[in-house]
Amino acid sequence: MLLALSFLPSPLVMLPGMAQVTSPAGTKAPAGTKQSLAPAEVVPAQIPAVEAWRKNPPTVPAPRPFTLPSVDTYKLANGLKVELVEDHRFPFVTMALGIKAGSTLEPTDKLGLADISAEMLTEGTKSRTSKQIADEVDEIGGGLSASSDYDYALLSGSALSKYSDRIFNLFTDVLFNPTFPDDELTLKKTNLIQVLAMKRSEPDFLAEERFQRVVFGKHAYGNVAPTPATVKAINRDDLQKFHDSNYLPNDSVLIVVGDFSPAKIKEMISSRFSDWKSGDLPVAESPALPAQHGRHIYLVNRPGSVQTSIRVGNSSIERLDPDFFPMLVANQILGGAAQARLFLNIREQKGYTYGAYSGLSARRHPGSFAASSEVRTEVTAAALEEFLYELDRLRNVKPTDKELKDAKNYLCGSFQLGLETQSGLMQRLLEVNMYDLPDNYLQTYADKVMAINADDVRRVARKLIDNDNLVIAVVGDATKIKHDLEFFGVVDVYDTAGKLSTDWEKQPQPGS
């Protein structure tokens, strides 16, 4: 638990001449005493004086108020929003550009286009090869990378502050002048296809893929990964077109955190970004999510598997939903960490697994909620029963005061710890901008979490968990688990390629 690092108990009160030597009775024995000292020989009067503090656990104070460092916010004429945060603790500068150009904007026959477009930014420009870019980044002790998510693309860079101008030059060069070299693209596609082949052997990936496809249907959130066919279909012209159409300054944000001179950094930004042309922003399609009717089990047959991957859940909420904070607390109580209900039940009490957790994703469009674990094949049905029990219990039984307090303290503590670094603060500022959150989101986060009560948790659990229409994705050996799973609902069997399987019983077993 993260908070435990910050709130240590009072130091042990030691009498003169005493050393911290543990006797069989569990007390601290005076230096020079023998370790064979019998409990009867311990002076009872010493126990309260030395050990009384152990009777009460340390109290956790309320979260400290978070004061956001001064953020200098302004916009360029082209619509680019800029946020500057000075941090002179270290001679380092971190920057990031968030662009609302994620995989929701890519065509279905070119899945992977958004990711490859982002990752290829650093693989060559009009004036630099990929090796020259990498060598210069290393020379200035920095970093430069690009990635893409469902809703946005992210270009980030960092360097020692005395090299701010050089990292800015690299940053803007890869942003404005990528050439998407054919040789680098071929290598990128080859590597990605190999990774996809490896993913097909991973139960957790197969469970996530099946779960997301059922929950989201034709929505882009249902695409966990591209296919080899869609990757092969992507060419250099596709990358250039996606970049030109979607990498636009309006509705994008540039964040710079670190040791810099405000006047100098503003001049750098003006000289490098002012000529970036704005344009018409594309709008992602958002088809309706499929309705779920009854509990349905989607079993991916993995012959010979000695474990079963389980994922249970349904669609959730948008990031701007007013119920986001109570749902965050509800998820934390259910399966957010090792002290949560799922972990304590399925691992600690039952011993079915090494860990059981739950997660809540809330994006620009409704995301998903799922509880998951990997269990031994022979306890698949028993583990699923416990999942359903805990989901139902969260809906119907209010959390205890301790559960509620622990969950809220964990969320607030980990949130504030994450803001202590330049990259952590930058990530949170990006979150505010990419999801159009209120300007005071960071300052009010802890207050909103701490305001959640037991009634809030039960109310949103009933909204979040559709217990009668759950999607249950399972990956394992169908010959060993399908019969038991039929007790919980209708079972459809798929192969590892994601296709509905009607002859799965005929598949050869390993060693046969």
Q: Extract the residue ranges of the chain whose pLDDT is less than 50.
A: 1-44, 512
The dihedral over CA atoms of 107, 108, 111, 116, expressed in degrees to the nearest 10, equals: 0
In this structure, are residues 348 and 356 in contact, taking their beta carbons and an 8 Å threshold?
no
Residue 505 and residue 512: Cα distance in Å, rounded?
13
Residue 503 and residue 303: Cα distance in Å, rounded?
13
pLDDT, tens only, 242-262: 999 999 999 999 999 999 999
Task: Locate 50 and state its tokens.
Answer: 């030395």
Q: Please report, for residues 17, 19, 22, 41, the alpha-carbon distance to residue 36 in angstroms, rounded to integers and kept in the order given.
A: 19, 16, 11, 10
Q: Please report, for residues 91, 94, 146, 259, the alpha-carbon distance to residue 86 in angstroms, rounded to integers and kept in the order given.
A: 11, 11, 23, 6
Provide φ and ψ at 227, rounded to 5°: -110, 160
Residue 327 and residue 457: Cα distance in Å, rounded?
7
Residue 106 CB neighbours (<10 A): 26
What pLDDT is stored for residue 482 in this prediction?
A: 96
In this structure, are residues 119 and 80 in contact, taking their beta carbons and an 8 Å threshold?
no
What pLDDT is stored for residue 26 in this prediction?
A: 38
What pLDDT is stored for residue 284 in this prediction?
A: 85
For residue 507, give the 3-state DSSP assignment. coil
Rg, Å, the chain Cα set: 27
112: alpha, beta or left? (left if phi > 0; alpha if psi -120 to 50): left
**How far from the centroid of its chain's Cα atoms is residue 176's Cα?**
29
What pLDDT is stored for residue 50 in this prediction?
A: 65
Give residues with Cβ within 8 angstroms of 460, minimum separation 6. 323, 326, 327, 330
In this structure, are residues 212 and 221 in contact, taking their beta carbons and an 8 Å threshold?
yes
Residue of 334, 388, 376, 383 whose CA lies nearest to 357: 334
pLDDT, tens only, 64-104: 777 788 999 999 999 999 999 999 999 999 999 999 999 99
For residue 72, give the 3-state DSSP assignment. strand
In this structure, are residues 415 and 431 in contact, taking their beta carbons and an 8 Å threshold?
no
In this structure, are residues 116 and 234 in contact, taking their beta carbons and an 8 Å threshold?
yes
Task: Locate 473 and state its tokens.
Answer: 């994705």
What pLDDT is stored for residue 11 in this prediction?
A: 34
What pLDDT is stored for residue 335 in this prediction?
A: 96
Residue of 273, 80, 85 whose CA lies nearest to 169: 273
Residue 228 and residue 241: Cα distance in Å, rounded?
21
* All structural domains of the chain: 2-55 (no CATH), 71-273 (3.30.830.10), 296-506 (3.30.830.10)
What pLDDT is stored for residue 6 in this prediction?
A: 37
Provide φ and ψ at 158, rounded to 5°: -155, 155
Residue 73 and residue 254: Cα distance in Å, rounded?
10
Q: DSSP string spanning 208-253?
A: HHHHHHHHHTTSGGG-SS--HHHHHT--HHHHHHHHHHH--STT-E
Residue 354 and residue 341: Cα distance in Å, rounded?
14
In this structure, are residues 442 and 432 in contact, taking their beta carbons and an 8 Å threshold?
yes
For residue 428, give the 3-state DSSP assignment. helix
| Mean pLDDT, the chain, integer | 88
What pLDDT is stored for residue 2 in this prediction?
A: 41
96: which strand partners? 156, 255
Residue 358 and residue 311: Cα distance in Å, rounded?
9
What pLDDT is stored for residue 56 in this prediction?
A: 77
